[in-house]
């Protein structure tokens, strides 16, 4: 596939590029100055995870994802809910790392679950320690212990007149030995080479406007399909790319939240110009939805502050307000666990702060800002 974009195509995409650039700049500037920026960034993880499943053709309710993340499921989690929670954890891992960590070789290895790599993402601003010397000394000590055990075993076998074990090299087990039906690994689908091919697009995207480079990376991810079981990772890498380029630094951009509003026929069109326009339109819609979300959160924060303005200094209502702003919905059990109060105390606090109850039921109720 040819990934270069000529000047004629850029000229046709220029109106969409301008709209996307302007929308993302307005959203980032608003989020940096807003008092609800932290809650907005945390809520974006949930909405983007649900949007990623929507784009993949699966329906996951945001309230189920919130309860599953709090380990308070109302029922057994479905397969789709488990994948959505994996998207949520991946977004948090990318956000807590450096701006360009997810696009590095180590970051892609961790996010794709490659064996032999560390499980946790490096924290931003935390220096790494070099333990090469310690590992080398430990390996040498273990090698000496193995040699002593081998000699001891050989002497015992000779003393007891046991036949010596066959020392001829055994053939290495084939890759399909543990997966004879090819249910987990497809030898014809080389994910490593496909992922390397996609990474070669990053230098090309760096030469283009930020949003156009991000759209090019997402189009390449859709065409190359490096990870078949983690296809949702492409949208997260696009958000990380926007952060690495300095376009959206206040939060991890929720690309799937706006992409879900774009019709499937446009996202999967045969014409390349239509696909790129759809991806740029998805970024613009995500920015518009983000601005509306911050308007709702700012209004809700003002209303809640009026409730506890004259309260005592050690009141739990300010902490409850921050917790409500960081989740799409909350339950009394979640509030009790977060604030360290009883269930009855959580209900009293929710009634005092004046948050809307969204279920309309007498039991298994939930409160939130939607």
CA distance between the termini of the chain: 42
pLDDT over 90 for what percent of the chain? 59
Q: Count of alpha carbons within 13 Å of 24, Cβ hemisphere only?
A: 30
Q: Six-digit token pair at 55? A: 């784009």
Do both 201 and 75 map to the same domain?
Answer: yes
How far from chain centre, in Å, is Cα 209? 24
Region 277-289: what's the mean pLDDT?
A: 96
The pLDDT, as a whole number, for residue 185 is 55
**φ/ψ of residue 330, rounded to 5:** -135, 150
pLDDT at 171 over 80: no
The pLDDT, as a whole number, for residue 82 is 95
CB atoms within 10 A of CB 270: 6
The pLDDT, as a whole number, for residue 138 is 62
Q: For helices 210-224 and 233-244, give the axis angle rounded to 10 degrees.
A: 160
Do both 284 and 315 map to the same domain?
Answer: no
Please, what is the average pLDDT of the chain?
84
Q: CA-CA distance, 83 to 93, in Å (whole number)?
A: 15
Using the 3D structure, point to which of 290, 316, 348 is the last residue of a domain. 290
Do both 358 and 218 map to the same domain?
Answer: no
In total, the chain counts a number of residues equal to: 370
Residue at 142 is within a domain: no
Q: CA-CA distance, 38 to 44, in Å (whole number)?
A: 10
Using the 3D structure, point to which of 257, 290, 323 is the last residue of a domain. 290
Do both 314 and 283 map to the same domain?
Answer: no
Residue of 236, 234, 196, 220 whose CA lies nearest to 276: 220
The pLDDT, as a whole number, for residue 314 is 81
Do both 99 and 226 map to the same domain?
Answer: yes
Q: Which residues contact 107 (CB under 8 A, 6 or more apart)?
A: 94, 97, 101, 121
Region 334-361: what's the mean pLDDT?
A: 90
Residue at 33 is within a domain: yes
Residue at 163 is within a domain: no
Region 286-315: what's the mean pLDDT?
A: 90
Residue at 328 is within a domain: yes
Residue at 63 is within a domain: yes
Least confident piece of the model among 20-29, 223-232, 271-280? 223-232
Long-range Cβ pairs for the range 14-19 (8 Å, 24+) = 16/276, 16/277, 16/280, 16/281, 16/284, 17/209, 17/211, 17/212, 17/280, 19/280, 19/284
Do both 278 and 318 map to the same domain?
Answer: no
| Digit-coded pLDDT (tens) for 113-150 | 766 554 444 444 444 444 445 555 566 666 677 777 77
Q: CA-CA distance, 41 to 253, in Å (whole number)?
A: 8
Residue at 127 is within a domain: no
pLDDT at 218 over 90: yes
Do both 274 and 317 map to the same domain?
Answer: no
The pLDDT, as a whole number, for residue 289 is 96
Residue of 239, 197, 203 whose CA lies nearest to 221: 197
Do both 259 and 312 map to the same domain?
Answer: no
Do both 109 and 211 map to the same domain?
Answer: yes
The model's confidence at residue 74, banded by pLDDT at 50, 70 and 90, is confident
Q: CA-CA distance, 204 to 225, in Å (whole number)?
A: 18
Residue at 139 is within a domain: no
Number of H helices, E strands in the chain: 16, 2
Residue 344's CATH number: 1.10.10
Do both 357 and 268 map to the same domain?
Answer: no
Helix (H) or strand (E) holding 337: helix 332-339
- Quote the number of domains for the chain: 2
Do both 32 and 93 map to the same domain?
Answer: yes
Do both 110 and 258 map to the same domain?
Answer: yes
The pLDDT, as a whole number, for residue 168 is 46
Residue of 321 and 191 predicted with greater confidence: 321
What range defines the domain where residue 345 resides? 308-368
CA dihedral sign, ordered 342, 82, 109, 135: positive
- Give SS3 for 329: strand
The pLDDT, as a whole number, for residue 308 is 83
Region 86-106: what's the mean pLDDT?
A: 93
The pLDDT, as a whole number, for residue 139 is 60
Least confident piece of the model among 55-59, 210-214, 330-334, 358-362? 358-362
Is residue 131 within 8 Å of 151, Cβ to Cβ? no
357 beta partners: 367
The pLDDT, as a whole number, for residue 73 is 87
Residue at 160 is within a domain: no
């Amino acid at each position: 596939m040819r990934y270069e974009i000529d000047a004629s195509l850029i000229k046709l995409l220029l109106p969409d590029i301008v709209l996307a650039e302007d929308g993302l700049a307005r959203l980032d500037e608003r989020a940096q100055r807003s008092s609800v920026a932290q809650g907005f960034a945390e809520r974006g993880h949930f909405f983007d995870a649900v949007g990623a499943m929507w784009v993949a053709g699966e329906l996951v309710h945001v309230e189920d994802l919130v309860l599953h993340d709090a380990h308070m499921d109302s029922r057994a989690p479905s397969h789709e809910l488990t994948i959505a929670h994996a998207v949520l954890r991946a977004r948090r891992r990318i956000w807590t790392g450096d701006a360009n960590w997810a696009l590095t070789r180590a970051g892609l290895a961790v996010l794709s679950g490659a064996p032999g790599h560390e499980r946790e993402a490096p924290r931003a601003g935390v220096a790494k320690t070099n333990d090469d010397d310690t590992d080398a000394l430990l390996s040498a000590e273990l090698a000496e212990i193995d040699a002593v055990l081998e000699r001891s075993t050989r002497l015992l076998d000779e003393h007891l007149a046991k036949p010596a074990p066959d020392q001829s090299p055994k053939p290495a087990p084939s890759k399909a030995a543990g997966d004879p039906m090819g249910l987990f690994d497809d030898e014809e689908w080389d994910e490593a080479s496909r992922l390397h091919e996609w990474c070669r697009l990053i230098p090309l995207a760096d030469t283009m406007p930020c949003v156009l480079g991000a759209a090019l990376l997402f189009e390449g991810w859709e065409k190359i399909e490096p990870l078949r079981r983690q296809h949702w990772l492409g949208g997260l890498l696009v958000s990380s790319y926007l952060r690495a380029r300095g376009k959206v630094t206040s939060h991890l951009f929720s690309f799937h939240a706006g992409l879900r509003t774009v019709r499937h026929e446009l996202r999967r069109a045969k014409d390349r110009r239509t696909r790129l326009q759809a991806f740029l339109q998805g970024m613009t819609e995500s920015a518009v939805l983000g601005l509306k979300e911050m308007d709702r959160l700012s209004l809700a924060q003002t209303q809640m502050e009026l409730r506890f303005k004259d309260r005592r200094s050690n009141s739990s209502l300010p902490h409850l307000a921050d917790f409500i702003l960081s989740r799409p919905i909350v339950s009394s059990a979640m509030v009790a666990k977060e604030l360290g109060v009883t269930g009855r105390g959580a209900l009293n606090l929710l009634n005092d702060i004046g948050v809307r109850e969204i279920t309309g039921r007498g039991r298994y109720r939930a409160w939130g800002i939607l």
